[in-house]
Structure 1
């Protein structure tokens, strides 16, 4: 926060604190303390930086309010009072629908940016929200500054795209980037967007900060956690297939041409609930006969678990070992056992007793990475939908006035965009077996139970090859975990990109820890490591 406030010019500083998993964590916090439920890390940052922001006239907009935006707004006012700063604090509420869903730990509608805009238009210096879309932190200030209304769909869509690029911080300036060797990413600077009245923007960063902003880093973030060409939100549906990006100068990328459509008639609601209890143990199998050692301990544990069987039992053997290894660690494989059950005692007894009792009576070299505990609760995330009018979206101004925010009046049912024409394929020529990542970048992430993998080409010729080669069926071949799941491919020619949505690969969401990489953050890098027959001309 200090770096952004002191590193260069800024009108509005935004902060996105809410992932799906964060909402579950804040919900558990609220169970223990009804006054909790917001991101306390924001307050710690603000204590150091509120004076700088006030001095420089920078307004702050954040969703750190989480489950209790009014509580965080009060805490910010108290902080400003202690610091002797005349700061006007407003907040947005209406997203909390938990009472409507019995058994839910947290149920929150994704609100748009017009509540934020109302607070800013009435003079707020700090605006705190609960669950809004990540991009709303940018569309709200843009609508307030330029005077946009709910039907300015193209302009709003441009701001949504800018907000989507900014929402994950340094992922737009070289962080987590497939081609990270293109620049110095040891300490990437945070991105900023220069927004224009027509909805276009320039993505850049403060002078002298690390990392880099180029068409590749912006493309990667545009593809992150999206699906088809229509990127739906509560204010507008942005057409990602209309986005055009070009390099304007060092660390300057212009984003333009974004078209917008009326938002869908329903608001998304993120529903978090406790799914049960989870426990795990990782057996270390060293040296020879790894498969036979794994079979022995699995049989022994099966007998032990039969006395009080958990609802779900999962085994995974990870072959990290290598022959004639120079260290014991590289001579060892990992056998992970995960159990789940609604009853904490079942998952506790299942592992803590059975696994430890095998210590002197199982395979040679028996040991585990850590002794199993009592079991921990895990969460389940799902999407539900409500009409716009079912939510009481309200801007609570710094002087206490409550301003209702009108629901969207123009809406349109979301439909898939037909696949656009593909480029001409490359002419036949010699090929070489090589990793996909030599000619394509990728970025992946989670959306509830689904994962998306965005793949883009760096040159026109690579795009001509990629568009024809990487079909949904070829994706399934390269990613065996997806072979029995629906995989949908979306084509975005302006970005020279393909976006794959793998349905159900994450089970019941990140908090359920269904797989080794529960948020699919590295799924794209796994895909890039897979080998295909690639034209030598591209290599």
Structure 2
């Protein structure tokens, strides 16, 4: 520590650049973050929930390296700059094999003649422990992530991992089981002199938390600071999502028009001693960092007003977002609490097989065509074969335009999606379509070919809870020969706080507006962001002015959200609502709407990303007076 940025260490904000939000982000973004300006740390999140599982079998067979290729490629092209500028790096691109990636990096450092120390973190892979659990004790040791929420009863579909039929199967059907680790292992590695730290499944924000924690020499009980860093990590871990990617307002001319968002730069968080941060980006890069892009990302994939993490809880009721300069937005007001005693354990198992057929129906009489086709297919499949399917749904995708301009705008998809334990059972569906032959509805036509109708195996997802005290998180230093030169435990939090009842309320002081109203789309007055948390969908909606906020919080009640869900609403779902008054935002979680979630979801929008603009497309009555407010 004494030799690393001695003049500045802990005396100014830690400048933390994120280079990846998913394994698909180009490796060159790491090089850009290192070369386009001065940064102290580079962090990278390479793991969506299913990354580890989708490569697990090939890794076990020796057909995959286990780590994410884009993480290695980024390090390979950036290592000289990392060495020259003495930038510290923390990446979760180790995925299934953090040791393997750490060894590759150590070899690269030796080849280039650099003096950099490499460490990796183990302890997230709990597959051996999960496989040891006897089938009849699985439900006792692996409660569902939402089981602690008294307002929610997880859907039967989401609990299928625990049902008797599934339990009777061999436990080797489980493909992967990885716990979400916190930041303490990375901090420990930095404190012992590591320059590059490779992890497997840590939480998305953990590398950023660790960087700020190390820079400011916080204690493990500095919860306000850790919670602030958690939100800083949440804001930048999705790379361009905070600089203009996935931004609801990209068409608005006040942001410069959509061309400004063609190639958004990647973000930087300048984290202060109190945990507050300024979100920014390198000068000259595309996109934009303003209050609205930051608010959108703040509201993305939230659990409500309390963000849970292995090192702290972040209470967001008082969060503030304010522009303090060009492409500079300050985020503050976060309060911290001790962490929960459990962390998320992402379990993926072989769910069986699934198939999808896409058929087209031209506009005239399209609803009757869909109903006729559904009945014809079910008749041909037969009751016995239908009983062998776990799931079968005929989804209508898109509504044909009235008085269409061309045939494409007059067309709707019939999406037939099905899942079953046995691939043979699914083959009855394309066979049934074939048997309909020329008995089909008027104008029937398919999309290109029927290759998607061939059953393919899919991985099912089960989010469990696992006691943090049972984790064996360990830091290992490695040399270029593959030898582990030292190892030490990352330890555990010294204090835990039980999970409290989650907040769920309508506004306490609704405002009644008088005067004329105008029917507009919700998106004409509000921005939003939505995403997934396993089986659940979250969406946050916000406006620009105080009067608009009075209207939004009064209008967007829980009952109103049920109404706006329309045909997507089901009695089995649960709904939670909270408010963030300083950012003029209402936030909802819809529990159960994504089924089992992740790779198991059968919804067209399996990750809930399009839900926000579906909601913003709804026509609502808005007081004309507040439409005249300038945001």
Match of 2:623 among 519, 523, 535: 535
Deviations 1:229-283 (A, max 9, x none): 2111100011111322211111111122321110011122111112111111111
Alignment of 1:332-371 (within 5 A): 332-347=411-426, 349-369=427-447, 370-371=449-450
**Which moves more between the two structures, 190-199 or 32-41?**
32-41
Match of 1:434 among 520, 536, 540: 520
| 2:167 alignment partner in structure 1 | none
Match of 1:238 among 314, 322, 339: 314
C-alpha distance in 1, partners of 2:622/2:615?
14
Match of 1:36 among 50, 58, 65: 65
| 2:586 alignment partner in structure 1 | 498
| 2:135 alignment partner in structure 1 | none
| 1:316 alignment partner in structure 2 | 395
C-alpha distance in 1, partners of 2:442/2:614?
33
C-alpha distance in 1, partners of 2:358/2:187?
51
> For the Cα contact (< 8 Å) 2:505–2:576, is it kept in 1?
no
Question: RMSD value over aligned CA atoms?
Answer: 1.9
C-alpha distance in 1, partners of 2:399/2:564?
20
> For the Cα contact (< 8 Å) 1:240–1:492, is it kept in 2?
yes
| 1:404 alignment partner in structure 2 | 489
Seen in structure 2, the aligned counterparts of structure 1 residues 445 and 287 have a Cα distance that, compared at 3 Å, is closer
User: How far 1:462 moved relative to its partner?
Assistant: 0.9
| 2:597 alignment partner in structure 1 | 509
Q: Structure 1 residue 58 and structure 2 residue 87: aligned?
A: yes
C-alpha distance in 2, partners of 1:352/1:79?
51
SS of the residue aligned with 1:242? coil
Deviations 1:331-369 (A, max 9, x none): 22211111110012221x223333234344422333211
| 1:121 alignment partner in structure 2 | 191
User: How far 1:434 moved relative to its partner?
Assistant: 1.0
Deviations 1:102-138 (A, max 9, x none): 3321111111111001111222221101111111111
| 1:100 alignment partner in structure 2 | 129
| 1:14 alignment partner in structure 2 | 43
C-alpha distance in 1, partners of 2:523/2:458?
34
> For the Cα contact (< 8 Å) 1:359–1:367, is it kept in 2?
no
> For the Cα contact (< 8 Å) 2:103–2:478, is it kept in 1?
no
C-alpha distance in 2, partners of 1:177/1:84?
43
| 1:381 alignment partner in structure 2 | 461
Deviations 1:166-214 (A, max 9, x none): 1111111111111113131111111101112221211111011111111
Seen in structure 2, the aligned counterparts of structure 1 residues 319 and 440 have a Cα distance that, compared at 3 Å, is closer
> For the Cα contact (< 8 Å) 2:316–2:333, is it kept in 1?
no
Match of 1:255 among 331, 335, 338: 331
C-alpha distance in 2, partners of 1:250/1:423?
36
Seen in structure 2, the aligned counterparts of structure 1 residues 133 and 317 have a Cα distance that, compared at 3 Å, is same
> For the Cα contact (< 8 Å) 1:345–1:374, is it kept in 2?
no
C-alpha distance in 1, partners of 2:374/2:275?
59
SS of the residue aligned with 2:221? coil
| 1:88 alignment partner in structure 2 | 117
C-alpha distance in 2, partners of 1:353/1:66?
40
SS of the residue aligned with 2:261? coil
C-alpha distance in 2, partners of 1:434/1:418?
28
> For the Cα contact (< 8 Å) 1:477–1:483, is it kept in 2?
no
The number of equivalent residue pairs is 538
C-alpha distance in 1, partners of 2:405/2:466?
59
C-alpha distance in 2, partners of 1:24/1:286?
40
C-alpha distance in 1, partners of 2:506/2:336?
18
**Which moves more between the two structures, 360-369 or 514-523?**
360-369
> For the Cα contact (< 8 Å) 1:30–1:36, is it kept in 2?
yes
SS of the residue aligned with 1:455? strand
C-alpha distance in 1, partners of 2:612/2:506?
23
C-alpha distance in 1, partners of 2:68/2:597?
21
C-alpha distance in 2, partners of 1:89/1:133?
20
Deviations 1:75-97 (A, max 9, x none): 22233344443432111111111
Deviations 1:474-522 (A, max 9, x none): 0110112134221110112122111100000000012113211000001
User: How far 1:323 moved relative to its partner?
Assistant: 4.4
SS of the residue aligned with 2:375? helix
C-alpha distance in 2, partners of 1:512/1:197?
42
Seen in structure 2, the aligned counterparts of structure 1 residues 490 and 270 have a Cα distance that, compared at 3 Å, is same
**Which moves more between the two structures, 236-245 or 397-406?**
397-406
SS of the residue aligned with 1:105? strand
Match of 2:341 among 253, 265, 276: 265
SS of the residue aligned with 1:60? strand
Q: Structure 1 residue 290 and structure 2 residue 366: aligned?
A: yes
> For the Cα contact (< 8 Å) 2:506–2:558, is it kept in 1?
no
> For the Cα contact (< 8 Å) 1:487–1:502, is it kept in 2?
yes
Q: Structure 1 residue 166 and structure 2 residue 247: aligned?
A: no
C-alpha distance in 1, partners of 2:442/2:570?
36
